[in-house]
Structure 1
Amino acid sequence: MTLTRYIYNGPQSGVTLRVDEARELLDVQLQPGKPVNLPADHEYTLVLLELKHLVLAPPEAKPASKTAAAPQKPGQE
């Protein structure tokens, strides 16, 4: 099951979705302004998108790596 990250902008709610052929259950808490991971092709997700309760979340920023600056030689600035 592939999940897509969205920002939810509807009333606070919760839902249990049946996903995959194995009928796996996915419990989701929906809180206004918070990110949520949902299957993009699920009927429930499509309805929330149509109602404008979901927008794609921006990609998560990865922490910048901390690299040490090379020491400068005297007289270089």
Structure 2
Amino acid sequence: MKLTRYIYNGPQSGATLRVGDARELLDVQLLPGKPVDLPADHEYTLVLLELKHLVLVPTEAKPAGKTAAAPQKPGQE
């Protein structure tokens, strides 16, 4: 089961979702202004998005590693 991170902006609440092929249970606490991990394609998540209670948290792009430039010999510029 792949979860997506959102910021929840609705009333304080909680839910138990049936997810995955094995119909596992996922308990979530929904606290205003706090992040929550939910399955993006779940009906409950889609309803919360429609109600504007969820905002997707952008994934952090990892900065490209800087490679140190080789020291230049005197006279080579």
TM-score if structure 1 supplies the norm length?
A: 0.77
* Letter in structure 2 aligned against 1:56: L
- In 1, Cα distance between the equivalents of 2:29 and 2:15? 7
Instruction: Determine whether 1:26 maps to 2:29.
Output: no
Is the alpha carbon distance of 1:12 and 1:27 closer, same or farther for their aligned partners in structure 2, counting shifts above 3 Å?
Answer: same
CA RMSD of aligned residues (A): 2.3
What are the residue-to-residue correspondences of 1:7-22 with 2, within 5 Å? 7-22=7-22
In percent, how many aligned pairs have the same letter?
A: 87
What are the residue-to-residue correspondences of 1:1-77 with 2, within 5 Å? 1-60=1-60
What are structure 1's unaligned runs of at least 5 residues?
63-77
Structure 1: which 4+ aligned runs deviate by more than 6 Å?
Answer: none
TM-score if structure 2 supplies the norm length?
A: 0.77
